Amino acid sequence: MKINKNIVLTSFAVGLLSLAGAANAGLVLDTGSITMGVQDNGGLGFSGVGIALTGGPGDAIMPGCLCEGWGAASDGVGSYTYGNSSSGFASSNFTTTGPADAVSTVVLNSGLTIVHTYSSAAGGSLFGVNVSIFNTSGADVADVRYARTLDWDVGPGHFGDDFTTIYGGTASGPGGNVLHTSFNPFAAPNPMSLRGSYGGVAANTNGTNVTGDLGAYFILGFGNLLAGESVSFDTYIGAAFSTSSLLSAFGSVGIEAYSYTYDDDGDATYGWGFANVGLPPAIDPDPTGIPAPASIALFSLGLAGLGFRLGRKNKQKV
């Protein structure tokens, strides 16, 4: 697991972070190839945009219900945003520094601070999202978790014609920091809540090209954090005009666990993946099969801009 050290993050420092760039309630980010609507709390779906490929068949998240969001937990208590509502959030702030660059900072009632830092990746075919979880509670916390859920609704059929894949990090299912996976996106992403069989696929089981109105649910676990410690990892979301192109982009950034989906009558594939979660890269970035190193994980521009040093090393108390 990747744990940051040498961090002095007080409430004052969090306040400074929120001042970087122009504050917004949300924004539609644009890499030039894909657009993504982000709320100030880091949930997707803003101004009618979830995730869309320029020139593609439409949005992959907005049709049907906005069943998308994330959650974080410690000491057995989860907080989350799902659709247009949230639970356990004390404050949210969203700043931007460019068309594809933004920082969402959320302080939970539990005292955790969650920072999502967005930027363009893989030549604009992906959004890179660095996720940093800071223990700003002033006390040690146990069983820190992060969850992400999303309902894939890809056009033109949206529901019955969609094919969805989940890979949890190993051939048999979840591994590394991935604790739990499910094809069921239809519940709030409380990281303490597990989900059962859905779409004919058991929880914690990989599935390839499973048909139906499905999505993906991932829970990541990072163990205990002492007061002042943090954990950081990377997620990527994007789209391409073929599954092979999307998977190639995933390979280029070192994706370790993922979900992707497409409509059999459409011409685009959409996906979400995780990197730096304690697993080897799941996709060879070199189509010749010659091993190639995974790309360096996206660094948090929001924190870097303020001079924070986030060394990815073993857990250590500040």
- Rounded Cα distance between 269 and 246, Å, is 7
Nearest CA-CA partner of 158 in 207, 104, 215, 106 = 215
pLDDT at 292: 35
Question: Does pLDDT of 29 surpass 80?
Answer: yes
Question: Does pLDDT of 101 surpass 80?
Answer: yes
Residue 275 near residue 162, CB atoms below 8 Å: no
Average pLDDT over residues 153-169: 88
Question: Does pLDDT of 19 surpass 70?
Answer: no
Top CATH class, 3-313: mainly beta
pLDDT at 304: 38
Average pLDDT over residues 28-46: 96
CB atoms within 10 A of CB 243: 18
Cβ neighbours for 29, distance < 8 A, ≥ 6 positions apart: 35, 36, 37, 38, 96, 99, 100, 101, 102, 118, 127
Nearest CA-CA partner of 135 in 72, 227, 224 = 227
